[in-house]
């Protein structure tokens, strides 16, 4: 996927920033969702790899704020703006949210991928950041890599050709 620069890696429940000529990548997106927020003209971007939709249901006193959609997205927006991005120019691309396991229960609690997708869409809409493209759902994991110089999000899925959105 990479052409020049270095690859900035983002782990699970993590986030980071990349400016051109560097690219930013995360692996292991099963039910997790990768959120890229970027300003194409400024060639700057950020990527969050969230695991869960909502931090308010945790019983932990100290939480990893990068783990949850409701806490990671505001932090990601702020970090992208700190790199020189313009608030009105921010756009997003998202990927992930697969249904990795089949449960006989009809409970939505176990449908973490779908809940993650819905939470991410809601938080981005509330922040007035349009989702330009997405590759979500299904039942296979993904690796994604974003190039802030082109605005292309490369997506690798097992048994499928690499694609760009």
* Spatial separation of the C-alpha atoms in residues 85 and 81, rounded to whole Å: 5
Catalytic residue among 8, 15, 18, 32: 32
Helix residue spans in 51-138 (DSSP H): 69-82, 112-126
CA 113/CA 34 separation, integer angstroms: 11
Whole-angstrom distance, CA of residue 145 vs CA of residue 143? 7
d(CA 147, CA 151): 6
Taking the C-alpha atoms of residue 45 and residue 84, their distance in angstroms, rounded to an integer, is 10
The H or E element spanning position 9 is strand 7-10
Of 96, 78, 100, residue with least CA distance to 87? 78
Is 32 a catalytic site residue?
yes
Identify the three-state secondary structure at position 124: helix
97 in the Ramachandran plot: left (φ > 0), alpha (ψ -120 to 50) or beta?
A: left
Task: Point out the residues that are catalytic.
Answer: 32
């Amino acid at each position: 996927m990479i052409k020049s620069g270095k690859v900035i890696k983002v782990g699970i429940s993590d986030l980071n920033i990349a400016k051109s000529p560097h690219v930013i990548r995360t692996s292991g997106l099963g039910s997790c969702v990768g959120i890229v927020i970027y300003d194409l003209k400024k060639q700057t971007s950020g990527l969050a790899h969230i695991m869960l939709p909502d931090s308010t249901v945790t019983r932990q006193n100290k939480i990893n704020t990068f783990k949850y959609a409701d806490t990671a997205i505001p932090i990601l927006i702020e970090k992208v703006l700190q790199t020189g991005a313009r608030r009105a120019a921010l756009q997003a691309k998202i990927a992930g949210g697969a249904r990795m396991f089949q449960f006989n229960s009809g409970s939505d609690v176990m449908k973490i991928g779908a809940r993650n997708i819905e939470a991410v869409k809601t938080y981005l809409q509330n922040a007035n950041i349009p989702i330009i493209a997405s590759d979500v759902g299904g039942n296979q994991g993904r690796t994604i890599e974003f190039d802030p110089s082109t605005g292309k999000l490369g997506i690798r899925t097992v048994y499928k050709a690499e694609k760009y959105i």
